[in-house]
Copies of this chain bind each other. A is one copy, B any other.
Amino acid sequence: MAAFQTVKGFRDFLPEDCALRNYIFDRWRAVARGYGFVEYEGPLVEPTDLYKKKSGDEITGQLFNFITKGEEDVSLRPEVTPTLARLVAANQRNFSKPLKWYQIGSCFRYEKPQRGRTREFIQFNVDIVGDTNPANADAELVAFSIDTMLAFGFEEGDFVVRLSNRRLWLDFLLENQIADEHSATFLQIIDKMERAPKDVTAKQLEVIGLSVEQVEAHIKRYLDGEAVEAPDSIFAELKADLTARGLWKFVKIDPGIVRGLAYYTGTVFEVFDLKHNLRAIAGGGRYDNLVGHLSDGAVQMSSCGFAMGDVVLTELINRHEIAKGAAEQWKRRHQAPEVYLVIADDSRRAEALGILQQLRRMGIRVDYALNPAKIGKQFQTAESLNARFAVVVGSEYPLLTVKTLRTRDQMEVSAEQLPDKLAGLLSMPESGPLIA
């Protein structure tokens, strides 16, 4: 029997990877709580019907769906927005509006695994549901996406929010008297246009009675700023709000952004890095009809949201000096043992175990050698674990030695004084940079 492998497109998180993942979760939650959002979660498995015709063909073609032992047709969730809409339709009576909700968890798509794309990935979903003024809610959401990037240490010049509005294209279709039935196809063409050869785009547009020149001229009016600066611009309110927050400098109006999913109805945006040409870090927009669709019209709630994945974000953090440094600092502050207990005389093991539990009960992170080992070996382990202090329990018990591992300073302390002494030492900042 060959050794077992991870299923293709799925990931193992060894401790270093998992620590970085936890750091990302911690930052996501910190920003969300700072913005007054509350966390929810749905099941990882949902009825397959929830996605059919709601998420669009691109996603339903990539479903991990199957029949259970109980004959239910279910899917691993490919995205969380339909779950949110289901939850809201069923429970919204119990909450005052608007709901500001976020979620963090795995999603699954059967896509070709490649850089920035895995079959199981983690999404951060942020949504405002039941708002009454779209521009104000959209602005809070775009601000949230920007502050999330800043919270990781990314700066102006590292990333941009490419912002558009689907109505800008629906108005364009109306002006050019293109039938409604073509609008989904048309938006797909715009979505792919940036990466498609021009002649392919031209042929696709021709089928529905449009030319590349007409489309490019419409885009140019926004890229130039002409249509953005107009007082009746579709972006006027959003721009005023984000300008007041000092965040407009991170935004670029770009009609080329339409988003692949079927359910968006207004504002759409994507966050891109500006240096490495990776896939979008985050994307979202307004979806005013989804809750109504999924509740069969029983509950109508205008909504907007965005999702950020962990795969591209992780790659960007690893390539960015400040972001990577912040992650390393977090790991040390939250994970390394504060104290390593060196048992220098194994006949004092019982006393050492008593101290071990006493310190842990105080909330101090303490590790020790599970089995008797030479003193030098125990100190080596303490240093390899990046512990801050060693406490040596030896034949002089109840006299103990406390050693600061970085500076090699040491002092003698009685077992009785140890808890107070350590609490004092741990409350002081470490001298020198946290990262060696």
From A33-41, A170-178, A412-420, the one touching the partner chain is A33-41
Contacts of A136 in B (CB 8 A): 370-371
**Cβ B41 vs Cβ A354 within 8 A:** no
Q: Say how many copies of this protein the assembly contains.
A: 2
With CB as the reference atom, state the residue of chain B lying closest to A352: B244
**Cβ B244 vs Cβ A363 within 8 A:** no
Indicate whether A217 reaches chain B with its CB closer than 8 angstroms: no
**Cβ B43 vs Cβ A120 within 8 A:** yes
Chain A: interface residue total (CB-CB under 8 A):
101
**Cβ B131 vs Cβ A357 within 8 A:** no
**Cβ B18 vs Cβ A40 within 8 A:** yes
A16 CB to nearest chain B CB (Å) = 9
**Cβ A70 vs Cβ B244 within 8 A:** no
With CB as the reference atom, state the residue of chain B lying closest to A66: B66
Q: Known contacts A3-B294, A4-B86: does B69 contact A40 (CB below 8 Å)?
A: no
Indicate whether A128 reaches chain B with its CB closer than 8 angstroms: yes
Give the distance in Å from the alpha carbon of A5 to the alpha carbon of B47 in the complex. Answer: 8
Give the distance in Å from the alpha carbon of A358 to the alpha carbon of B353 in the complex. Answer: 48
Which single member of B1, B41, B42, B360 contacts A34 (CB below 8 Å)? B360
**Cβ B34 vs Cβ A364 within 8 A:** yes
Indicate whether A374 reaches chain B with its CB closer than 8 angstroms: no
A425 CB to nearest chain B CB (Å) = 17
Contacts of A249 in B (CB 8 A): none
Indicate whether A322 reaches chain B with its CB closer than 8 angstroms: no
Which single member of B33, B89, B245, B370 contacts A131 (CB below 8 Å)? B370
**Cβ B33 vs Cβ A335 within 8 A:** yes
Indicate whether A328 reaches chain B with its CB closer than 8 angstroms: no
With CB as the reference atom, state the residue of chain B lying closest to A46: B7
Contacts of A21 in B (CB 8 A): 41
With CB as the reference atom, state the residue of chain B lying closest to A39: B18
Annotate A136-156 by CB proximity to B: 1 below 8 A, 0 otherwise: 110010010001001000000
**Cβ B247 vs Cβ A6 within 8 A:** no
Give the distance in Å from the alpha carbon of A385 to the alpha carbon of B18 in the complex. Answer: 33
Contacts of A428 in B (CB 8 A): none
With CB as the reference atom, state the residue of chain B lying closest to A247: B357
With CB as the reference atom, state the residue of chain B lying closest to A372: B133
A212 CB to nearest chain B CB (Å) = 35
Contacts of A405 in B (CB 8 A): none
Contacts of A244 in B (CB 8 A): 349-351, 353-354
Annotate A327-340 by CB proximity to B: 1 below 8 A, 0 otherwise: 00000001101000
From A90-98, A202-210, A264-272, the one touching the partner chain is A90-98
Contacts of A350 in B (CB 8 A): 240, 243-244
Contacts of A15 in B (CB 8 A): 38-40, 101
**Cβ B360 vs Cβ A11 within 8 A:** no
Contacts of A108 in B (CB 8 A): 44-45
A350 CB to nearest chain B CB (Å) = 4
**Cβ A74 vs Cβ B7 within 8 A:** yes
**Cβ B106 vs Cβ A12 within 8 A:** no
**Cβ A384 vs Cβ B96 within 8 A:** yes
With CB as the reference atom, state the residue of chain B lying closest to A339: B36
With CB as the reference atom, state the residue of chain B lying closest to A144: B360
Give the distance in Å from the alpha carbon of A154 to the alpha carbon of B418 in the complex. Answer: 27
With CB as the reference atom, state the residue of chain B lying closest to A31: B360
Give 22 A-B contacts (CB < 8 Å), ordered by A residue.
A1-B296, A3-B86, A4-B294, A7-B46, A7-B47, A8-B70, A10-B43, A10-B44, A12-B87, A15-B39, A21-B41, A33-B334, A34-B360, A34-B364, A35-B360, A36-B367, A45-B108, A96-B381, A147-B357, A147-B361, A244-B349, A247-B357
- 17 more contacts with CB within 8 A, not counting A34-B360, A137-B370, are A4-B49, A6-B86, A7-B46, A12-B40, A12-B43, A13-B40, A14-B40, A18-B38, A18-B39, A35-B366, A44-B44, A44-B76, A44-B120, A64-B68, A244-B349, A245-B356, A246-B354
List 5 A-B pairs, minimum CB-CB distance, nearest first. A36-B367, A66-B66, A10-B43, A244-B350, A13-B41
